[in-house]
Amino acid sequence: MNICHENCAQIRKLVENISTDLQCLEKLLQDNNVQKVNIRFPRKVIRTAEYFRARLVFVNDDILRTNIAYHLMLSDVYRWILNRFDIALTAKELLIKEGISLMGNIIEAVITHIARNFMSNPKDRIGFKKACTILVENEIITTELKENLMWVWGMRCKEHLPNLRKAEYKKYELKHYNKTIKIWHEFENMLKQKINITGVES
């Protein structure tokens, strides 16, 4: 028998059983008013903070690098949930939105950190758009990447609910989340080429 076919059949059966068992568990919990149980989250799904810190060589602030690493660990959780669960209703869309917003916050932290290296007074306040412009002017990122980063930031700014003028229904798709991750990887790789560990152009 084809090994791939056999494995795929086993996966389908496991998914079916886990889905059924999880629904049965949820009914039991609700019927018995049990608020909390501990289902073991799969190990080795979430990459370690050490792993992410090693990738963030362009951030020369140890505390910032560590905090970004922690948030990238959370992005692993979002990725796993979105790839493993059939989530109904608008909740899935808003989970996608939160995943995008998380990456937007990470990108903001990195881009403002790098931009301050090129400012006369690094303590001055700096917005996302200005930080992008500084990096373009210093040939750290391309104009095309700036436009993509601004797209992510626009999506992230939809976190401000009072500013929204339309219902958030059918606004967020998995392709938007995947686009965000692709932009982050492009940004990360470009910084690795242009910035050394001291945070200045190499």
Q: What's the pLDDT score for residue 1?
A: 47
Q: What is the CA radius of gyration of the chain?
A: 21
Q: What is the pLDDT of residues 90-104, one digit of tens each?
A: 999 999 999 999 999
Whole-angstrom distance, CA of residue 101 vs CA of residue 94: 10
Mean pLDDT, residues 8-21 = 95
Q: Spell out the domains of the chain, with CATH numbers in brackets.
A: 1-39 (no CATH), 42-194 (1.20.120.580)
Q: What is the pLDDT of residues 156-184, one digit of tens each?
A: 999 888 888 889 888 999 999 999 999 99
What string of DSSP letters covers 77-128? HHHHHHHH----TTHHHHHHHHHHHHHHHHHHHHHHHHHGGGSSSTTS---H
Q: Please report which confidence band the pLDDT of residue 202 belongs to, taking 50, 70 and 90 as the band edges.
A: very low
Contacts of 139 (CB under 8 A, 6+ apart): 194
Mean pLDDT, residues 17-27 = 97
Q: What's the pLDDT score for residue 201?
A: 43
Per-residue pLDDT for 2 more than 90? no
* Model pTM above 0.85: yes
